[in-house]
Structure 1
Amino acid sequence: MKSCRECSFVLADPVGRLTVSRVGLFSDARFPGRSILSLRDHYDDIADAPAEIAELFLIDIQFASRIIRRATGADRIDVALSAAAGLHVHAHLVPRRRDRDPRPDHGPDEDPRAHRPLEPLPEAMAIGLLAAAFDVVGAGISGS
């Protein structure tokens, strides 16, 4: 795992590498396959990134969302861009399924279930599934 030299942000459980970002599993039992997409270069705020980097980051978000949606069988992917309190710019990609979500038409923060990490076996399976899905499209982590 590589950490950012500027802020020490670490992407846990990496599964893919895209044009300007890396993607890793965010262990959340409520939303299996939830992932974090972080810019490889450090920016405290997306507004500080050059326009080209910001545009490519959005393309990476869309590309990763398609992969995660297909791999998890999600109906859609909710996206939340974050850089709270000077943290590394990153996006949460949250798979949503009408057949599993108690409030599928609300944001993931409004989910009534308590946040808890995936159990070890489902977590390992999610990492393997996502890593394979990114690898199939040439965005695996072997080059990171």
Structure 2
Amino acid sequence: MIKECMYCAHDGRLEKLMIEIDKLRVSTVFLFREQTYKGRCVVALNEHYKEFFHLDQDMQDAYMRDVAQVARAVEQAFSADKINYGAFGDTMPHVHFHIVPKQINGPEWGSMFVMNPSDNKQLDEAEYQELIEQIKKYL
């Protein structure tokens, strides 16, 4: 266990930001609690690696299949005009991708999504569960 990593520590930090949706081949998909971009998810590798290129070829392939599976599900569930992908990790060095559905007339269309939008759109638990069920329908 890597205590500094919220994906590995299981100390409550992750749950404040995300809700687990499902385990996939080699990763776990989470619904991001901040929902400016309806359906925004994170696909986090189950094992701790700092860089994607540190994974062996089989793990890379399986992980990218997971990312593609989630992106397809989010696109179908929310009729996204485009899916943006974010893999930064400067402050959280654990392999994870943000899957961000974008709408033509929605926030930041034509530019990069905002990692932490100032509006900080939070939902109630029933609304989160509805989004999760929509995503699970297409996973």
Q: TM-score higher than 0.5 here?
A: yes
Which stretches in structure 1 are left out of the alignment for 5+ residues? 140-144
Secondary structure of the equivalent of 2:87?
A: strand
Partner of 1:115: 118
Choose which of 106, 111, 115 in structure 2 pairs with 1:106. 111
Runs (4+) of structure 1 exceeding 6 A deviation are none
1:17 aligns with 2:23: yes
Tell me how far 1:116 sits from its aligned partner: 3.5
1:31 aligns with one of 37, 42, 48: 37
Report whether the alignment pairs 1:58 with 2:58: no
The reply to whether residue 69 of structure 1 matches residue 75 of structure 2 is: yes
Pairwise CA distance, 1:114: 4.0
How many residues are treated as equivalent by the alignment?
129
Q: What corresponds to 2:10 in structure 1? A: none
Taking only aligned residues, the RMSD between alpha carbons, in angstroms, comes to: 2.4
Is 1:95 the equivalent of 2:101? Answer: yes
Can you give the 5+ residue segments of structure 2 that lack an aligned partner in the other structure? 8-13
The separation in 1 between residues aligned to 2:70 and 2:117, in whole angstroms, is: 26
TM-superposed deviation, 1:16? 2.0
2:52 is the alignment partner of 1:46:
yes
User: Normalized against structure 2, the TM-score is what?
Assistant: 0.78
Taking the aligned partners of 2:84 and 2:74, their CA distance within structure 1 comes to: 11
User: Quick check: 1:21–1:38 contact (8 Å CA) kept in 2?
Assistant: yes
